[in-house]
Structure 1
Amino acid sequence: MSGVEVIRAAALYGVPHGFLGRRGGVSTGVHAGLNVGVGSSDDADAVAENRRRATDAVLPGAALATCYQIHSSDVVTVTEPLAERPRGDALVTDRPGLALGILTADCAPVLLADAQAAVIGAAHAGWKGALGGVTDATIAAMEALGADRGRIAAAIGPCIARASYEVGDGFRQRFGADDPDNDRFFADACAGHARFDLEAYVAHRLAAAGIARIEMLGLDTYADRDRFFSYRRATHRGEPDYGRQISIIALA
């Protein structure tokens, strides 16, 4: 509908969900497309229309719940439509008619579902949240609603890929201090720099938490300007602002 592109994961088959990019929205300029970022400098009416289109593309009529994201491991359990955005970086629910949305512009969106228990979750995993355990906290919050991590399936949506994600040695050392084995998620670049595989690291954290079915979509937000928003790309291009895309999961 309205040209909105919805990317779905086989791992979440049967559960309404979608990873959306920038196609099909009404925003213009540097935000051109389906920008859903309330915190961006985009026109508020355009953002509201984009959020409506995004939600309807996944589950028409659902009430969209999103967070005021702070790169934390904080999880919000949603039991009714939200009047305001709570601070946190993940949402879980067992209530039908609620759509959980995570905004990204290079960070990794993670959608999770225990279809048998009818419990879903959505997590915003930037490097800081991923290292801090946002996916672990989301799984625990889903279990509190009756999910079983042995049944939970997870999908990691469009995010910045290793080829596009150059970091300094200090960044690499921070991950190494947490676990020396984390060095496998880095590839040497120029002197004092490396390239980090965020998607692979998030998948590792999910697997270490006992999630058996994990799907990595392998889509690079930085490299595909026509399809996705990217904070790092906008910064490198000297653009004054950037759009945010949304990933949504819901219970019908």
Structure 2
Amino acid sequence: MSVEALRHPLLAGAAHGFLGRRGGVSEGDLAGLNVSYSEDDPALTAENRRRAVEAVLPGGRLQTCYQIHSPDVATVTEPWDDVDRPRADALVTDRPGIVLGVLTADCAPVLLCDAGAGVIGAAHAGWKGAFTGVTDATVAAMEALGARRESIAAVVGPCIAQKSYEVDGAFEARFLEQAAENERFFRAGREGHTWFDLEGYVASRLHDAGVGAVGMMGEDTYSQEARFYSFRRATHRAEPGYGRQISLIGLS
């Protein structure tokens, strides 16, 4: 099975792909294109990462960060080794041949591009990072490299959908305290619980930041077991591992 790389027309100005679990060599609960070293045979993970990059920008140099659910952004000016990767949740660059990658397993990957300026970004937007402004910080970091926010296109990739994301009252209250209009991202559920639209919230943050064009892939990681890894699905099943997929963007 070949690697499945989902693409969006808004990002046609850069090599990119939202990848799932298809086309990899990992086995068992992690079967497929798992790109996380923390739960898998390092040799299998390395091969999966190689296949992922080749499916998006052959010959590109993959750069990732040590993700910590923060609003922090790293600017890539030259390649670093995995051991030296920064603690952050987004990456930006204007250097050809660099492939920016973010790992997810229900959180929202966001890929961004100002094709005219030759500046790209990739962000890992879990609810914590999204809430504290990781996408806002990514746009600002792209501007520092010469991008214009009104010229940036951004796409929210596969993540856990509202129909699969039940949260408690305290979670909802946090968002309503931030802005009353965030109520539109919650749908009533059983007593004391609601269903949260992470994808819609992240897209709204991008719109509010003045990004010129915003798209959504509309793919639910939780409900599509054959296509995507899901932390919440694995947790509900008490599985020992859950794997990660990767979303990539690069300039040729």
**Residue 215 in structure 1 maps to residue 215 in structure 2:** yes
Preserved CA contact (<8 Å) 2:108 2:199: yes
* Pair 1:247 & 2:243 matched: no
Question: Could you tell me which residue of structure 2 aligns to residue 60 of structure 1?
Answer: 58
Count of residues paired in the alignment? 250
Alpha carbons 2:187, 2:196 under 8 Å: kept: yes
Correspondence for 2:13:
14
Structure 1 CA distance, aligned partners of 2:73 and 2:211? 18
Task: Using the TM superposition, give the Cα deviation of residue 53 of structure 1 relative to its aligned residue in structure 2, in angstroms.
Answer: 0.4
Q: Which residue of structure 2 lines up, in the alignment, with residue 119 of structure 1?
A: 119
Q: How far apart, CA to CA, are the structure 2 residues paired with 1:229 and 1:136?
A: 26
Partner AA of 1:80 in structure 2: E
SS in 2 for 1:228: coil
Structure 2 residue aligned with 1:70:
68
Displacement of 1:211 in angstroms is 1.0
Aligned partner of 2:80 among 82, 88, 92? 82
Match of 1:96 in 2: 96
**Aligned mates of 1:86, 1:61 — CA distance in 2:** 23
Partner letter of residue 236 of structure 1?
H
Report 1:74-223 matches (<5 A): 74-83=72-81, 84-223=84-223
Task: Return 5+ residue gaps in structure 1 as ranges.
Answer: none
The letter of the residue matching 2:58 is P
After TM superposition, give the deviation of residue 115 of structure 1 in Å.
Answer: 0.2
Percentage identity across paired residues of the two chains: 64
SS state of the match for residue 150, structure 1? helix
TM-score of the superposition, structure 2-length normalised?
A: 0.98
Q: Separation in 2 of the partners of 1:11 and 1:166?
A: 30
Q: List per-residue Cα deviations over 1:85-106 (Å, max 9, x = no partner).
A: 2100000000000000000000
Distance in 2 between the 1:135 and 1:149 partners? 12
SS class of match (1:176): helix
What do the CA deviations read for 1:119-163 (whole angstroms, capped 9, x no partner)? Answer: 000000000000000000000000000000010000110000000
Question: 2:45 maps to what in 1?
Answer: 47
Cα distance between partner residues in 1 of 2:19 and 2:53: 10
- 1:82 CA displacement: 1.3
SS in 1 for 2:74: strand
The structural deviation recorded for 1:81 is 1.0
- Structure 1 runs (4+) deviating above 4 angstroms are none
Equivalents in 1 of 2:65, 2:202: separation in Å?
20
Aligned AA (1:34): L
How far off its partner does 1:212 sit?
2.5
Checking the alignment, whether the CA contact within 8 Å between 2:121 and 2:249 is kept in structure 1 is yes
